[in-house]
Structures are given as structure tokens and as C-alpha cells.
A and B are shown apart, each in its own frame.
Chain A
């Protein structure tokens, strides 16, 4: 059941992204920026955590879930440490994702070769 929920929630979030691509001239890069900021806003408002509760990885794996993690970290740290938490919480909560992206991204970029482009 939880796998079906993840499939549906994740699929629907991606459909929203595809609609933005098809209906507007937005590039995937801009969609990703919009989604991460939307995740921060929905996370800070306490809406997105409920979706994560229901949809599991379907809500946390899309990039909008990364925005939610940033917001969650900021709120936790502001509760604990006050205003400085606004600066420490986001990167703290997102640390594993950011570090993993740098680490695996660098290794894979160094060891692999791009496919020869055969443009017509």
C-alpha cells in the first residue's frame, strides 16, 4: 500500500512539472528552482510534511521534498537557537543530500565519458 501511495504522489508531482513544461516556456532548470522554492514555502506552512506523512518517498524524493527538508531544518533550528537558526537549519538538514550530490556527482563526472553525439 505504501508503495502504491509513493507511486501515485510521486507520479502526480511529476505530472505537475510536465504540465508546467508543456504549458509554459519554462526550462526544466527553472521548473526545478520553482519546485524547490515551492517546497520551502509549503514546508514552512506545515502543508508539505503532511504530504510526506501520507506519500512517503513519493513526496520526499521529488526535488520539492528537498525544499521541504530545508524549511524543516530552519524551523527546528530557530526553535532551538533563535534567529541564527534561520541560517544554520537549512544547510544542516540538507547536508547529506548536498554532500552526496557533490561526492557522487564528482566521482561519476570524472570516471565516465559522454556518449559521442551523433547529431543529424
Chain B
């Protein structure tokens, strides 16, 4: 379908996509949606801490619950709508990380459970883990050398 666009249409389209001034509405929605998601995380964290759980475990478990929520809402086709409203406010929280795993995996399920689901799960999560883990190893080596 993309190829059927005329040059003129493409030019218009690419201008719309080109970076410009930030839209105030986008920033407000990112703030609200991101803030609400993090507040939900804080409620979960507080509830876990109130059970007497160690701080570190409560943090890990909060992440687990947030990932579950993000994956679940993506499966229900709800998270994409949240993403349209919230932009980065939906993408940056860890629920958006879960969304980036489930969304392409279910989209490409017809390609099979290995190269479809299994591989596509890491379309975005893969680069995040590669650069995250790689940079943490560099940080660890530097820390070892200076300490």
C-alpha cells in the first residue's frame, strides 16, 4: 500500500511526520497518562510494602504486576488505545515495554510459534535488553577499575 502513494502524497505525509514544535496537547497527555500509570505502580508498591515485604522484593513484584497489566491490556487490544492518547506517557512506563512485546507477537502469530511469536516478542524488547545489559556491563567494568 505504501508504494501506491504518489510522490506528492508522500511529500505531504513526510512533512506531517517531520519534527516540528512540540504540541502542548501531546505533552499534557503524556504527563497525565504516564503519571497515572506510575501512581497505579505506587499503589501496588505501597500495598506490598504494607505486608512487610522487603523493599527490593516489593519493587521487583511491582514491576511484575505492571508488566502483567501491560501485557493483559495489550491482549485485550486496549493498550493501543491508551498509546494513541498518551504517546510517550504509555510507551515509557514498563507497561509499554510489555506492550512492545505482546503487540508484534500477536500480530505475527500466523508466521508460527517460533519465528512468529517467539522472535517477534523481542522486536523492541530485544534492543532494549541488548543496550541495557551491554551498558550495564561497561558500567560494572568501569566501576571495578575505579573502585
Question: A12: which of B18, B22, B31, B75 is its contact (CB, 8 Å)?
Answer: B31
The contact size tier of chain B is: 35 or more
List residues of chain B with CB within 8 A of the CB of A119. 1
In the complex the two chains form, is B23's CB within 8 Å of A22's CB? yes
Q: Is B106 in contact with A108, judged by CB distance below 8 angstroms?
A: yes
CB-CB under 8 A from A91, the residues of chain B are 133
Q: Is the CB of B140 within 8 A of A78?
A: yes
* B20, B72, B89: the one within 8 Å of A18 (CB): B89
Scan residues 1-57 of chain A and give those whose CB is less than 8 A from a CB of chain B: 2-3, 5-15, 17-25, 28-29, 31-33, 35-37, 39-41, 43-44, 56-57
Q: Which of B33, B109, B121 touches A105 (beta carbons < 8 Å)?
A: B121
Check B41 against A61 for contact (C-beta < 8 Å). Answer: yes
Query: Quick one: which of B87-129 are within 8 Å of A by CB?
Result: 87-89, 91-98, 100-102, 105-107, 109, 113, 117, 121, 124-125, 127-129
A90 partner, pick from B60, B87, B140, beta carbons under 8 A:
B140
Known interface pairs A14-B30, A63-B97, A66-B94; A7-B135 also in contact (CB < 8 Å): no
Question: Which of B101, B139, B140, B147 counts the most A-chain CB atoms under 10 A from its CB?
Answer: B140
Q: Is the CB of B91 within 8 A of A31?
A: yes
Assess whether B139 is in contact with A32, with CB atoms less than 8 Å apart: no
- Contact of B124 with A101 in the complex, beta carbons under 8 Å: no
- Across the interface, do B61 and A96 meet the contact criterion of CB distance under 8 Å? yes
Q: Are A105 and B101 in contact (CB under 8 A)?
A: yes
Annotate B66-100 by CB proximity to A: 1 below 8 A, 0 otherwise.
11100110111100100000111101111111101
A105 to B75, CA, bound (A): 9
15 interchain pairs, CB-CB under 8 A = A15-B27, A22-B19, A25-B19, A31-B88, A39-B132, A40-B132, A44-B142, A58-B35, A67-B136, A82-B144, A94-B133, A96-B60, A97-B60, A112-B74, A119-B1
**6 A-B pairs closest in CB distance:** A10-B38, A14-B34, A86-B140, A11-B35, A57-B41, A109-B105
